[in-house]
Structure 1
């Protein structure tokens, strides 16, 4: 199959097929914590999206999505950052992207710190500095940049579902910002 034959919009399976696969296979994902850094690379701010959850609640979320067939991890990270933060976000993807943690999402609450009622998913989590202009896209209602100190002292992370708060805490800890 040639690379150009792959549907870059993600419709490589019909919705019914994707639902069947989600019941049978772990699905690969990327979780992305967008950050603003100073000139030394120290995280100054974390960008969190505001969106409607599957249950109709308004929640804070990180950038997240599945990896498509024939798509590299770098391409998946870039695609999801652009999809949620806009084409002018200008993400700085490392030359050799290595996740700071791996999150295993289960449809059954309590099986791990991470839940996704649709599927069993294995997600590689990345801290991605963005330098450009960001604006919420697609189903995101808002993008808010939180200072690291504000995140530590507020209840913002409690507004997150499925373990995304754990991903943000792990990202800040990994980067020495906690």
Structure 2
């Protein structure tokens, strides 16, 4: 599925219409379904700084939420990550991003709404695309202030919400 708008048209639409995104927190679970590890991406931001992030991306025209999740997980974690996509498209949280500095969910490009999911992965993750590294942390480590401080664009809030949703908020 190719781009549905030219970069110029996309920029114009972003100034006028909220965009739909997905955010996904990759996790490793044990045999009982308990979260053992949380995967956070390490990326270079547009400003040139390093930042930890969730898997994130836009839902394309004529693409289901499940298809968008699969596409972005493969793009960021590699084709052998083997994600276990949720059976239901109901997210654990909704992020509302605004182009207003100081907004809890800030995206300077646009107003966007993000559906957030926790997605177990069972395969071999090899970061690709613009991901420098995938770091696996215990749930307690992921919630350390220094880790949360390295996250941007509302991802720290979504991570805390995911841990609360999973009963792992310490």
TM range (shorter): over 0.9
Does 2:146 align with 1:151?
A: no
Aligned length: 169
Does 2:168 align with 1:177?
A: yes
Unaligned segments of structure 1, at least 5 residues: 1-7
Q: TM-score, normalized by length of structure 1?
A: 0.92
Q: TM-score, normalized by length of structure 2?
A: 0.96
Does 2:120 align with 1:129?
A: yes
Q: 1:80 aligns with which of 72, 82, 90?
A: 72
In 1, the alpha carbon distance for the partners of 2:73 and 2:87 equals: 17
Shift of 1:95: 1.8
Q: For each residue in 1:65-91, what CA deviation from the matched residue of structure 2 results, as whole angstroms up to 9, or x when unmatched?
A: 000000001000000000000000111
In 2, the alpha carbon distance for the partners of 1:61 and 1:140 equals: 9
Shift of 1:42: 1.2
Alignment of 1:85-164 (within 5 A): 85-111=77-103, 113-153=104-144, 155-164=146-155
SS in 2 for 1:114: coil
Superposed CA RMSD in Å reads: 1.0
In 2, the alpha carbon distance for the partners of 1:44 and 1:105 equals: 29
Shift of 1:154: 5.2
In 1, the alpha carbon distance for the partners of 2:144 and 2:18 equals: 35
In 2, the alpha carbon distance for the partners of 1:43 and 1:97 equals: 20
Query: Which contiguous aligned blocks of 4+ residues in structure 1 show a shift greater than 3 angstroms?
Result: none
Unaligned segments of structure 2, at least 5 residues: none
1:3 paired residue number: none
